[in-house]
Amino acid sequence: MNKSGFHNKFLPYVLLTPTFIILIVFLFYPALETFRLSFFKVNPFSGAAKFAGFYNFQKIFTNPVYLRSFIRSAVFAIGVVLAGLIISLLLALLLNQKVKGASLYRSLIIWPYALSPAIAGALFNFLFNPANGLAIYFTGVRTWLTDSSLALFIVVLAATWKNLGYNVVFYLTALRNIPKDSLEAAELDGAGPIRRFFSITFTFLSPTSFFLLVMNTIYAYFASFGLIDVLTEGGPANATNILIYQLYKDFFVNSRIGYAAAESLMLFMVVVLLTLIQFKTTEKKVFYQ
């Protein structure tokens, strides 16, 4: 009887070698180099590096621009996460109904996720541009991207819209896996639609909601650079200058290499800390079947 499998114990490692090379070159080495540079002052012209200890980190926490960017990023992340989860859940509940053309509606809802952040930013720039944006003709407001509060709102709206398809796909899948007999039993016991949703549907959706909570937090902090760069470039008056965009400016515009490396490390630590807090607090309320 022939048994399939690897008869050469070195063959699996040979097959995995290209993956290891890619991980080392594009992930592990840049991460280690960033960690190293965060403790150095680097001359952007000569490339000479001088060990500075925790100087870059001290500068970060005494820089009012960075501290304001830190708070602004938290506001941005909260807005994107809350709006994204609530709106996508409502859309998923509607799309889960048996209506004519439901498959078409699902496709239309999901396709924005296929767009790059830069394209999403360009679309919202086209809509809210103060010179000739389409939104001006319907609202009469020309300060969508020039007023600080409105600009941050538009960026949150654009980031939420961009990621809706991702959230809806997971919620739709989770809704279809909810046991129908549980819903039917609750209905027979006299529970109304709202009671059934919070007592049964939302309980079964808690693992998906927890997963999306973590993923949307990571998305808000790491994956919104292209959208902001095209839509507002961090303006007006740094109103949409979140941590990831401040990092870009310090490295590529201001050529503060060591300082930017420290910012990158701090951003990574913030997201890791938030994820750990979510696991310690929210996961306890997650119901696994």
Asked if 157 contacts 124 with a C-beta cutoff of 8 angstroms, the reply is yes
Report the C-alpha gap between 75 and 153 in whole angstroms: 10
CA-to-CA dists, residue 201 to 48, 91, 216, angstroms: 59, 15, 21
Nearest to 117 by CA among 204, 232, 239, 284: 232
Report the C-alpha gap between 232 and 165 in whole angstroms: 23
**Total-model pTM:** 0.88
DSSP string, 37-81: HTTEEE-TTT--EEE-TTHHHHHHHT-HHHHHHHHHHHHHHHHHH
pLDDT in the model for residue 286:
66
pLDDT in the model for residue 259:
93
What does each of the 289 residues of the chain score in pLDDT, given as a tens digit? 455 555 777 888 888 899 999 999 998 999 999 999 999 998 888 778 889 889 999 999 899 999 999 999 999 999 999 999 999 999 998 888 877 777 788 888 888 888 899 999 999 999 998 888 888 888 888 889 999 989 999 999 999 999 999 999 999 999 888 888 877 787 777 777 788 787 788 888 888 999 999 999 999 999 999 999 999 999 898 999 999 999 999 999 988 999 999 999 999 999 999 888 888 877 666 655 5
Asked if 288 contacts 207 with a C-beta cutoff of 8 angstroms, the reply is yes
Rg of the chain over all Cα atoms, to the nearest angstrom? 24
Report the C-alpha gap between 110 and 161 in whole angstroms: 10
Nearest to 198 by CA among 89, 81, 64: 89
Which fold, 71-285? Answer: MetI-like fold (1.10.3720)
Domain ranges across the chain: 71-285
